Amino acid sequence: MSASLPIAMPGCADAPVLRERGQREVFCGLTGIVWLHRKIQDAFFLVVGSRTCAHLLQSAAGVMIFAEPRFGTAIIEERDLAGMADCNEELDRVVDRLLDRRPEIKLLFLVGSCPSEVIKLDLSRAAQRLSVKHASRTAILNYSGSGIETTFTEGEDACLAALVPDLAATEAANLMIVGALPDIVEDQFRRLFAELGIAHVDCLPARRAGAMPAVGPNTRYLLAQPFLGETARALEDRGATRIDALFPFGAEGTTEWLHAAAMAVGIDEMHFRRVVAGPRERAKRALEPMRERLAGKSIFFLPDSQLEVPLARFLATELGMLPVEVGTPYLHRRHLARELALLPAGTVISEGQDVDRQLDRVRAARPDLTVCGLGLANPLEGEGLATKWAIELVFSPIHGFEQAGDLAELFARPLRRRDVLRL
């Protein structure tokens, strides 16, 4: 089915990458907690950090913060900095109290932050120590979501990678989808796989701590998200094999993603075409009106989530948009090789950021649409540039056939709004 994709041009597979260092206007990995805690329903995320970390989560989580969320911050205070032993005791006290108050928690993540990393508070030892203490009830893991180590969605990568060593071992030839997807999208994929004849599909992460998938030498896994480098490595350490595919954005991306999985487990090609034809056509129909709005429009991605490359591919190949520059906080070449090959030749691929220089390039290019964070969106609108704020692309269901139209609509809406306003 990949034959139906635009003929592979040289694209950007071997294009030079503009690597920049300087001020980065990005979130840290702690932000991943905001969607991860919704996905794993009996997990609690305890950040060990400063007031800044708590303030960040509060700002990012918005009104979620009022719904008894399953995350919190153990704020390091002056006296904790005086001596390290004290810090560990304090952490134990906080965890004990937390688990007392929230007995339904089956999985507790101690999440490292910049302050905890800089003072070298050993959270992995703390997690082991506390795991023993609470062994009967709650598993305790740790990962770092600090800004010095992780950018935005890399927090999910670090979290999932921390789950992998504890997954049960299996010899079974199972298929695993890796990456937290909204429940509705996950269910759609499960239905499609069932129709293809793959009755059982595992998801990492599972919705409950007790239901995490098993992994082994016969496991084949399919990345649903492009930011899962560490998790992929951890799965490969357990013997699992990655199925190389485009990411499931748009009609073609989703087709190719499913196709790669179907071929890997030996599904008949004709059967695959029959099963996928309907939803694929539906997705294309949903994209048609969007193509009219978006074709020929230039788009500039500032780095945010690592979703930039596959989204630019989708917008270019399926909607006819013209990517000017595609910025990503981190470029995982191997996982993105097929995506890069499909980007129009001449697209600037940039990794990292010097935000003021990059904004100079935005201003010089005056793209029709700029994808950026909320710290930059209104200022750019203030300069007369249309923007699409990037965080929504992480929080909204955008994967798969049924969401293809919605995904395109996210980019079309800011442009339509500029047309409808008479101001």
Partner 1 sequence: MQLAVWTYEGPPHVGAMRVATAMEGVHYVLHAPQGDTYADLLFTMIERRAKRPPVTYTTFQARDLGKDTAHLFQTAAREAYARFQPQAMLVGASCTAELIQDDPAGLAEAMRLPCPVIALELPSYQRRESWGASETFYQLVRALADRDARPAPREGRRPRANLLGPTALGFRHRDDVIEVTRLLETMGIDVALVVPLGASPADLAAIGTADFNICLYPETADTACRWLERTFGQKTVRTVPIGHGATMDFVAEVAAAAGLADIPALPHSNLPWWSKSVDSTYLTAKRVFVFGDATHAIAAARVARDELGFEVVGLGCYNREFARDLREAAKLYGVEPLVTDDYLAVEQAIQAAQPELVLGTQMERHIAKRLRIPCAVISSPVHVQDFPARYSPQMGFEGANVLFDTWVHPLVMGLEEHLLTMFRDDFEFSDAHGASHLGHAHLGHAAPTTASVEVPEAEGWTPEAERELLKIPFFVRGKARRNTEAFAAGRGIASITLDTLYEAKAHYAR
Can you tell me which of 15, 69, 106, 273 binds partner 1, judged by CB under 8 A?
A: 69
**Strands 322-328 and 241-242: what pairing?**
unpaired
Can you tell me which of 97, 125, 191, 366 binds partner 1, judged by CB under 8 A?
A: 97
The piece of 6-14, 89-97, 248-256, 290-298 that touches partner 1 (CB under 8 A) is 89-97
* Interaction of residue 117 with partner 1, rule CB under 8 A: yes
* CB atoms near residue 339 (< 10 Å): 26
Can you tell me which of 4, 218, 241, 378 binds partner 1, judged by CB under 8 A?
A: 378
Can you tell me which of 2, 41, 52, 124 binds partner 1, judged by CB under 8 A?
A: 52
Give the footprint of partner 1 on residues 139-198 (CB under 8 A): 146-149, 151
Closer CB to partner 1, 46 or 287, in the complex: 46
Q: Least distance from C-beta 41 to partner 1, angstroms?
A: 18
Size of the residue set binding partner 1 (CB under 8 A): 61
CA distance 315 to 291: 9
Can you tell me which of 25, 195, 351, 402 binds partner 1, judged by CB under 8 A?
A: 25
Q: Least distance from C-beta 95 to partner 1, angstroms?
A: 9
- HEC assignment per residue over the chain: CHHHCCCCCCCCCCCCEEEECCCCCCCEHHHHHHHHHHHCCCEEEEEEECHHHHHHHHHHHHHHHHCCCCEEEEECCHHHHHCHHHHHHHHHHHHHHHHHHCCCCCEEEEEECHHHHHCCCCHHHHHHHHHHHCCCCCEEEEEECCCCCCECCHHHHHHHHHHHHHCCECCCCCEEEECCCCHHHHHHHHHHHHHHCCCCEEEECCCCHHHCCCECCCCEEEECCCCCHHHHHHHHHCCCEECCCCCCCHHHHHHHHHHHHHHHCCCCHHHHHHHHHHHHHHHHHHHHHHHHHHCCCEEEECCCCCCHHHHHHHHHHHHCCEEEEEEECCCCHHHHHHHHHHCCCCCEEEEECCHHHHHHHHHHHCCCEEEECHHHHHHHHHCCCCEEECCHHHHCCCCCCCCHHHHHHHHHHHHHHHHHCCC
Q: Least distance from C-beta 72 to partner 1, angstroms?
A: 5
**Residue 114 assigned ligand-binding role:** yes
Tokens at 108, concatenated = 């507790």
Can you tell me which of 32, 182, 213, 373 binds partner 1, judged by CB under 8 A?
A: 373
* Interaction of residue 34 with partner 1, rule CB under 8 A: no
Q: Least distance from C-beta 65 to partner 1, angstroms?
A: 6
**Residue 159 assigned ligand-binding role:** no
Closer CB to partner 1, 160 or 377, in the complex: 377
Closer CB to partner 1, 146 or 350, in the complex: 146
* Interaction of residue 48 with partner 1, rule CB under 8 A: yes
Can you tell me which of 8, 84, 119, 194 binds partner 1, judged by CB under 8 A?
A: 119
Segment (H or E) for 127: helix 123-133
Can you tell me which of 5, 24, 190, 206 binds partner 1, judged by CB under 8 A?
A: 24
Burial of 283 (0-12, 13-18, 19+ CB in 10 A): buried
Could you tell me if 7 and 252 are in contact, meaning their C-beta atoms sit under 8 angstroms apart?
A: no
**Residue 28 assigned ligand-binding role:** yes
Give the footprint of partner 1 on residues 305-364 (CB under 8 A): 356
Can you tell me which of 238, 381, 396, 397 binds partner 1, judged by CB under 8 A?
A: 381
Can you tell me which of 262, 376, 393, 408 binds partner 1, judged by CB under 8 A?
A: 376
Closer CB to partner 1, 65 or 214, in the complex: 65
* Interaction of residue 208 with partner 1, rule CB under 8 A: no
Tokens at 75, concatenated = 């704020």
Q: What is the DSSP letter of 417?
A: H
CA distance 304 to 355: 12
* Interaction of residue 83 with partner 1, rule CB under 8 A: no
Closer CB to partner 1, 76 or 240, in the complex: 76
The piece of 158-166, 224-232, 280-288, 372-380 that touches partner 1 (CB under 8 A) is 372-380
* Interaction of residue 122 with partner 1, rule CB under 8 A: no
Q: State the binding site for [4Fe-4S] cluster.
A: 28, 53, 114
Residues near partner 1 (CB under 8 A): 22-31, 48, 50-52, 54-56, 58-60, 63, 65-66, 69, 71-78, 80-81, 87, 90-91, 93-94, 97-98, 114-115, 117-119, 146-149, 151, 356, 373-379, 381-382
